[in-house]
Amino acid sequence: MPLLEVQQVHTYYGNIQALKGVSLKVEKGEIVTLIGSNGAGKTTTLRTIAGVLRPRKGTVRMGDRDLTKVPANEIVRLGVAHSPEGRRIFSRMSVKENLEMGAYARTDPPAELAKDFERVYELFPRLKERLTQRAGTLSGGEQQMLAIGRALMARPTVLLLDEPSMGLAPVLVELVFKTIQDINAQGMTVLLVEQNAHMALSIAHRGYVLQTGRIVLSDSAKNLAENEMVRKAYLGEE
């Protein structure tokens, strides 16, 4: 059974239908990427899984639970952490407090929390240097690290990453993607939404292509990267 399974999800913004029956699966230990152009519904899909948006039809299964029936603030307790588009860190709180907020739902002993703080500092040494700094004063790259670190502090079973490369210099994009691979190598399952299809397909195991609210292609990342349509539409090749 897949770890996370989205089945025939229809999500609306008011009367506008953003998702027209999206289905996808994420298996344990995978990096799965969702690519597509602006407005295709990538972020909407993640927000539906995270419970920010509620679908009109369809289910989001995590184990034996249907996340569409779980209150939004309980979803993180079922093992889904969300690093959203635009990072949305708590800019007036310190870096340390942001990480603490990530662990808000945790009830395990402080020693276990300490382990995760250490893990995040190891992944992002820059954050450790800036623990008492207000998060709003971090650079874009550091804010992205903080957003990922905050999500990891929940010790999730699935990490939802929305556009982690957005607004970052190429060298930082490399670093962030390398880190995602490292996190995955340590056993984290990742569902990655990206505009930068090239980078996303280079680290993912499998991928889905989303077009105007529908999945139009799904294959291994390698096959997608070689697919004619994908190359033309999303990898900018002629």
Partner 1 sequence: MIGITNGAFIALIALGYTLVYGIIELINFAHGDLFMLGTFVCLSTLTLLGFSTEVGTTGTPWFALLLAMLAAMIFCGLLNVLAERIAYRPLRRAPRLAPLISAIGVSFIFVNIGLFWQGPTPRRFPDLLPQYDFMSQLFGFTTLIRFTFKDLFVLALAIPLMLGLAWVIRSTRMGKAMRAVAQDSEMAQQMGIDVNRVIAFTFLLGGVLAGAASLMYGLYNNNTVFTLGFTAGLKAFTAAVLGGIGNVNGAALGGFVLGLLSALTVTYAGGQWENVGVFSLLVIILVFKPTGLLGQETGEKA
The residues of the shown chain that bind partner 1, judged by CB under 8 A, are 50-52, 71-77, 81-82, 84, 88, 90-93, 97, 100-102, 104-105, 136, 150, 154
Quote the least distance from Cβ 103 to partner 1, whole Å.
Answer: 9
Query: Are 161 and 31 a contacting pair, CB within 8 Å?
Result: no
Please state, in angstroms and as integers, the Cα–Cα distance from residue 229 to each residue in 1, 37, 67, following that order: 30, 13, 33
DSSP tally for the chain: helices H, then strands E:
9, 10
What gap in Å lies between CA 199 and CA 195, rounded to an integer? 9
Shortest CB 161 distance to partner 1, Å: 13
Cα–Cα distance, 67 to 71 (Å, whole number): 8
Provide the minimum distance between the beta carbon of 140 and partner 1 in the complex, in angstroms, as a whole number. Answer: 12
CA pair distance 119, 130, nearest whole angstrom: 16
Three-state SS at 114: helix
SS3 124: coil
Nearest approach, Cβ of residue 81 and partner 1 (Å): 8
* C-beta closer to partner 1: residue 9 or 135: 135
